[in-house]
């Protein structure tokens, strides 16, 4: 947060022309040092990629995005997040998403079938974190279907998908722009109902949010296969996907 508030982002461009800041690098170092003692290998946006010949032998791994929504960070709209997921046998089993500006923390345990949110402050840090956690639940669309729209990645295919939802359902449809993995959190807690992402994302963009949503019964599915997204693939890019608590979005 010191970097965010100070404004000295030290912005660089990666090979794919996406931005990276000092905050991405600093957060990555801190998270890697925290997770290393677990002995579980780490896939992170800011780490060197491990060859699949080695990764395919892993039955578990951490998948990390130390700063999801770098554009939101640079634009100072507060909608950037920190994503950490534990993946076992290619499926997410635990996820944590932290929103530094609002100090909100979301976490979900797929095995236990529950997700929670809470505010991290001096009081919660000094006492039992779980004491202040509020269990979250998705909410079915009644009068209004609320669709999460990307702030940075809206395209014609997404607009066509949204129009298809309007034609299929009788409820009013509202598109609410949100950045980063925050969209997953807002579906899990019932604020939003559906998030279509038509375009390329990486595993670290989705794994933590996938776990949080899956823990409360929300589908996160590949639009090409109609199956759940999987992780630690040979190609760590995701196909287009949908996160939804609507019964029919095909």
Q: Which residues are annotated as a binding site for Mg(2+)?
A: 45, 65, 67-68, 205
Region class of 241: left (phi > 0), else alpha (psi between -120 and 50), else beta: beta
Based on its alpha-carbon atoms, the radius of gyration of the chain, rounded to whole angstroms, reads 18
Phi, psi of 122 (to 5 degrees): -60, -35
- What are the structure tokens assigned to 84, written together? 């950490």
CA-based angle 60:65:69, to the nearest 5?
A: 150
* Strands 60-68 vs 42-44: parallel, antiparallel or unpaired: parallel
Give the DSSP per-residue string, 43-55: EETTSPPPPHHHH
As annotated, the binding site includes 45, 65, 67-70, 205
Residues contacting 123, CB < 8 A, separation 6+: 132
Cβ within 8 Å of residue 207, ≥6 positions away? 63, 83, 85, 87, 92, 95, 231
Binding-site residues for substrate, please?
45, 67-70, 205
């Amino acid at each position: 947060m010191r970097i965010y508030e100070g404004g000295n982002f030290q912005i660089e461009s990666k090979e794919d022309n996406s931005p990276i800041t000092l905050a991405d690098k600093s957060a990555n170092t801190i998270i890697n040092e925290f997770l290393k003692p677990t002995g579980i290998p780490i896939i992170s946006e800011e780490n060197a990629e491990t060859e699949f010949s080695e990764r395919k032998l892993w039955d578990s791994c951490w998948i990390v995005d130390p700063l999801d929504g770098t554009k939101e960070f640079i634009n100072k709209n507060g909608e950037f997040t920190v994503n950490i997921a534990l993946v076992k046998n290619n499926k997410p089993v635990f996820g944590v998403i932290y929103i530094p500006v609002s100090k909100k923390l979301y976490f979900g345990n797929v095995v236990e079938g529950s997700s929670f949110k809470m505010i991290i402050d001096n009081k919660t840090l000094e006492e039992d974190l779980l004491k202040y956690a509020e269990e979250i639940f998705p909410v079915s669309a009644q009068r209004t279907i609320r669709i999460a729209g990307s702030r940075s990645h809206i395209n014609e295919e997404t607009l066509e998908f949204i129009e298809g939802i309007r034609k299929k359902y009788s409820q009013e449809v509202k598109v609410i722009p949100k950045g980063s993995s925050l969209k997953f959190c807002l579906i899990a807690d019932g604020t939003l109902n559906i998030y279509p992402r038509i375009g390329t994302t990486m595993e670290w963009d989705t794994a933590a949010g996938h776990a949080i949503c899956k823990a409360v019964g929300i589908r996160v599915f590949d639009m090409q296969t109609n199956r759940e997204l999987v992780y630690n693939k040979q190609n760590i890019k995701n196909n287009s996907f949908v996160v939804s608590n609507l019964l029919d979005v095909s």
